[in-house]
Amino acid sequence: MSLSILLINGPNLNLLGTREPEVYGAATLSDVVDACTATANSAGATLTAFQSNHEGAIVDRIHQAKLDGVDGIVINPGAYTHTSVAIRDAFLGVDIPFIEVHVSNVHAREAFRHNSYLSDKAVAVLAGLGVKGYEYAVQHVATSFKKRV
């Protein structure tokens, strides 16, 4: 069985490509999903993508990942990075290893973006590499994470 990767994007990331292009670039979410799928597949892994603007829907999707036997998660939690104890608790609850990705360098931006409720539980955090960060994270999960069952 191949390694199963879940890519989660949080609020407003459906607007990638048109949202503040000077911060987030020109690539769309669909470009990101296509590139990550190709990266996963060429490493022999499968990738499923999910985006939601709703905190509870993201919590539910993380719970579902456990039932689905997902081996690793790549998440850009968007603004929930800086606010969501619920998403942190969901990761602690399912115990699936994950990588946190930010398109922008959150540490070079407003102070309220410097804190993450997830970073200390993540395997790795990539910030400021543009949408390439997603592909690097998927590549790492596909080649370094282990099958969980």
Residue 114 annotated among the catalytic residues of the structure: no
CA dihedral 44→11→112→88, nearest 10 degrees, is: -60
Smallest gap from residue 81 Cβ to ligand DQA (A): 6
Residue 24 annotated among the catalytic residues of the structure: yes
The number of residues making up the chain comes to 149
SS3 145: coil
Site residues for ligand DQA, 74-93, by CB under 6 A, read 76, 78-79, 81
Please return the burial class of 21, using the count of CB atoms within 10 Å of its CB with bins 0-12, 13-18 and 19+: exposed
Among the options 102, 117, 134, 140, which is catalytic? Answer: 102
Single out the residue of 12, 14, 119, 139 in contact with ligand DQA (rule: CB under 6 A): 12
x-or-dash pattern for ligand DQA, window 58-77, by CB under 6 A? ------------------x-
CA geometry: angle 129, 136, 11, nearest 5 deg: 65
Token representation of residue 8: 């989660």
**Which residues of the shown chain bind ligand DQA in the complex (CB under 6 A)?**
12, 76, 78-79, 81, 102-104, 106, 113
Q: Any idea which residues carry the catalytic annotation? A: 24, 102
